[in-house]
Chain A
Amino acid sequence: MTNILLVEDSKISRETIESRISRSPNYLLLASIENAANAEIACLNGKVDLILMDVCTADGESGLKAAANIKKRDANIKIIIMTSMPEHSFLQRAKDCGCDGFWYKEYGDEDLLDVCARVMRGETVWPSGTPPISLGGACSLDLTERELAVLRELAMGKKYEEIAETLGISANTVKYHIKNLLQKTGCRSTLQLAVEVVDKKLILPKY
């Protein structure tokens, strides 16, 4: 029997997942909570085997940050990150912090309980990539890693000079990337571009 901790702040998703877990004889739902930071506490009781962790949780707490802390304290707890957000960095960050699987709630056709079963057998389960998002006239997959990095800083409201400093490049290079981004997407201003990427949830700087 696998003890599951579910971290999910959307009522509809939570109820759906709870119902799936309750119907399976292999899993026991230890607790169902909305705030990822509380998951770190719940794990201290030593009974959690698997966490199904949403990324954007109640009170703006990040499931990825909580997952990293939990893994640091107890690498034996399996963690599957779940999200409906196409945010391009989530997948890599989940891998970087030692999570065991990743499940897109609204993309792909993987079944969550199959992902759970594979992870509990010791596999790591990753989707092939981030879902494509249309961004003005461009597709998110057409953007380079560097352009995405510049976009992330831009979406945090940073100025060109600050972006240059953070990324260790010159302000002119930042301008060059932004000019290309505006050309690719057809956005008229950097504000429109920043709102577009945050609105489409390609970049969520808070998490």
Chain B
Amino acid sequence: MPDGRPVLVNRQMNRLAVQLTGHTVLDAETTWNELRNLTSFNGCSRLEKPWTETAEEKPGELLGFSLPDGTMWQFRREMLKGDHQTYLQIEAADVTEMFRLSKELYENNRRLQALHERQKVLLSNIAQINREKELLSVKMRVHDEFGQCLLATSQSLRGGTLAQDDAELAKGWADAVRDFTNIPLEDSADGRQQAELEQVASMIGCRLEFSGALPDRTGTRRLLYAAVREALTNAVRHAGADVLSVRVRRSAGGYHAEISDNGRSDVSSIREGDGLRNLRSRLEQEGATLEIDCRQGVVLILEFPEGGKDEGKRGT
């Protein structure tokens, strides 16, 4: 009724109201306000989301509570329009099973999402993992070869047959040493990358000058090299530069790099073509930033975050 007196309350609703508020439903609006402000009472407690996602489809305000007997109840407050007046309706539904399933679904979705992320990482690294696996098996084979050579040589020495076995032993040692020297030295790959950049720069008549400590992380160094390539291309093509300077230093958030050249350039701004646009988007994907300063020639200013963008995701 307009004064709040209930027209109809069933026994179940009264039972729930007593458990949750300490008294029966005397005034619907007051009862709803009490429920709305209730966080815990008499062993009953308020349910936080997610609880019943499908319930959102129906109109009205929703509240959820768990009772001491382990059941979960969903309360809905809704205005019903009659012929001459509007009624406030509060309905309660036992959602114990729905809550359990909804929670299970939520947990499963979270697990699925985590698995999906792991799958992405695995697939993007699989080529690298394979390479490392192959390299490891080569190293193990070479290790075994040396072991066999040592064993055979020591047996020949002990048995006094060194003179007869020397040709075979020498061949074994030569093979082992050759295989050993053919193992790719993965650690020097970055050194080669810088040397190769210098090589191609010199092919187009430009000298690269690196100064400062290069970033520790391979991914960050790759980004830096990508920026150097773009700057080098533009400096030689558009400004006739023959020296490109790359200065790197540690900054509070990671690494700061500046790439400048000695070319003739007196522009106040530059139009970003495909190359710079692609570079900028590649950098931003990795959490790095690019600024272009045209006050004195064209200087690319780069900020790389410490550890790269994905550092925090490792090991998950």
Taking Cβ atoms with an 8 Å cutoff, the residues of A that contact B are 11, 30-31, 33-35, 37-42, 44-45, 56, 58-60, 155-157, 159, 191, 194-195, 198-199, 204-206
A41 B201 Cβ-Cβ under 8 A: yes
A34 contact from B123, B192, B205, Cβ within 8 A: B192
B163 within 8 A of A: no
Q: Of A31, A155, A157, A206, which is within 8 A of B203 by CB?
A: A31
B141 to chain A, nearest CB (A): 16
Chain B residues with CB under 8 Å of A194's CB are: 119, 123
| Chain B residues with CB below 8 A from A199, complex form | 126, 130
Judging by beta carbons under 8 Å apart, are A38 and B197 in contact? yes
- Tally of chain B residues near chain A (CB < 8 A): 30
The complex places the Cα of A74 from the Cα of B32 at a distance, in Å, of 76
A205 to B182, CA, bound (A): 30
- Taking a contact as CB atoms closer than 8 A, the residue among B124, B201, B205 that contacts A157 in the complex is B124
| Pair A198/B196 contact, Cβ less than 8 Å | no
Which residues in B have some Cβ–Cβ distance to A below 8 Å?
Answer: 116, 119-120, 122-124, 126-127, 130, 182, 184, 189, 192-193, 196-197, 199-201, 203-205, 222, 225-226, 229, 232-233, 236-237
- Known A11-B184, A59-B193, A206-B127; contact A42-B120, beta-carbon cutoff 8 A: no
Whether the pair A44, B204 counts as a contact (CB closer than 8 A) is yes
The interface residues of chain A lying within 8 Å CB-to-CB of B193 are 34-35, 58-59
B229 A37 Cβ-Cβ under 8 A: yes
Instruction: Please list 7 pairs of residues, one from A and one from B, whose beta carbons are closer than 8 Å in the complex, sorted by A's number.
Output: A33-B200, A35-B193, A38-B197, A41-B201, A157-B120, A195-B123, A198-B127
CA–CA, A117 to B182, complex, Å? Answer: 31
Q: How far is the CB of B64 from chain A (nearest CB, A)?
A: 29
Q: How far is the CA of A191 from the CA of B116 in the complex (A)?
A: 9
B126 and A44 contacting across the interface, CB-CB below 8 Å: no
Beyond A41-B233, A195-B123, 18 extra complex contacts between A and B, CB < 8 Å? A31-B199, A31-B200, A34-B192, A35-B193, A35-B196, A38-B200, A39-B200, A41-B201, A41-B204, A41-B232, A42-B200, A45-B203, A45-B204, A60-B222, A155-B123, A157-B120, A194-B123, A206-B124
User: Which chain A positions have C-beta within 8 A of B203?
Assistant: 30-31, 41-42, 45
Q: Is the CB of A44 within 8 A of B127?
A: no
In the complex formed, the residue of B with least CB distance to A10 is B184
- CA separation between A40 and B119, bound complex, in Å? 33
Nearest residue in A to B189 (C-beta to C-beta)? A58
Residue in A33, A58, A155 whose CB lies within 8 Å of B199: A33
Q: Which of A11, A40, A155, A204 contacts B233 (CB 8 A)?
A: A40
CA distance A11 to B186 in the complex (A): 12
Tell me the bound Cα distance from A75 to B71 in angstroms.
Answer: 74
CA distance A44 to B240 in the complex (A): 12
Question: Please, which residue of chain A has its CB at the minimum distance from the CB of B222?
Answer: A59
Q: Report B-chain residues with C-beta under 8 Å of the C-beta of A191.
A: 119
What's the nearest-Cβ distance from chain A to residue B232, in Å?
Answer: 6
- Measured CB to CB, the closest approach of chain B to A156, in angstroms, equals 7
| Chain B CB within 10 Å, residue with most, of A40, A59, A60, A159 | A59
Expressed in whole angstroms, the Cα–Cα distance for A104 and B109 within the complex equals 44
> Are B199 and A157 in contact, CB atoms less than 8 angstroms apart?
no
Given A59-B225, A206-B127, A159 and B200 contact (CB-CB distance below 8 Å):
no
Query: Which residues of the partner chain A approach B130 to less than 8 Å between Cβ atoms?
Result: 199
State the CA gap A204–B189 with chains docked (Å).
22
Complex Cα distance, B199 from A35, in Å, reads: 12
Closest residue of B by beta carbon distance from A59: B222
